[in-house]
Amino acid sequence: MPDLSLFKSPAPYHIISYGTLLGTEFFQTFVGGIVSYQALPRAGFSQLQQKLMPVYFSLQTALPAVLALTYPGSKILGLQSGLQGVLADRWGALVPVTTIFITGLANWAYFGPATTRVMRERKHQETKDGKKYHDPGPHSTKMQQLNSSFNTMHSLSALLNLAGYVSTCFYGFSLASRIQ
């Protein structure tokens, strides 16, 4: 019979949270988003992303907090558990976990909603112009501004997402280095 005291330890919750975060980031960034873009019409893809991204960004914000709270200490390395351990392990835990949290929070609170807002404004402008944003030009000045704004917001969001993913991978190497 397995040792049930492990359920009281933060370590399994830490590993499960880390695996969920890494898997979600990898899948959304490199599989789900790309396949959806290729398989769905633009309108369907847009609707799907508007529903998925808030959930995705909230996971990218919440799971680093769980990682910080469940950080497993190490008697061998002299590291404390929980938030104190994260604060003590500046480069191995604090910087990557904080980076993941901040990039997820920025996307969840600002860049995701701003990108969605511009997409909706662009949809209204299509009705006014009688032309889709992706149709060949020329476009109205307002549509050009909206397209530029969307490209900027989407690019910054993607860059933050990539920074979060790289930080998650870096943290995984840091975590793996502690396995004896």
**Residue 30 and residue 37: Cα distance in Å, rounded?**
11
Q: Is residue 161 assigned to a domain?
A: yes
CB 137 within 8 A of CB 69: no
Residue 178 binned pLDDT confidence (cut-offs 50, 70, 90) = confident
Say how many domains are in the chain.
Answer: 1
Q: Is residue 111 assigned to a domain?
A: yes
Q: Is residue 5 assigned to a domain?
A: no
Q: Is residue 133 assigned to a domain?
A: yes
Q: Is residue 1 assigned to a domain?
A: no
Who wins on pLDDT, 33 or 178?
33
Looking at residue 105, what is its pLDDT?
98
What average pLDDT is seen over the chain? 93
pLDDT in tens, 53-112: 999 999 999 999 999 999 987 766 667 888 998 999 999 999 999 999 999 999 999 999
Q: Give percent above pLDDT 90 in the chain.
A: 83
Q: Is residue 78 assigned to a domain?
A: yes
Other beta carbons within 10 Å of 150: 19
Q: Is residue 4 assigned to a domain?
A: no
Q: Is residue 92 assigned to a domain?
A: yes
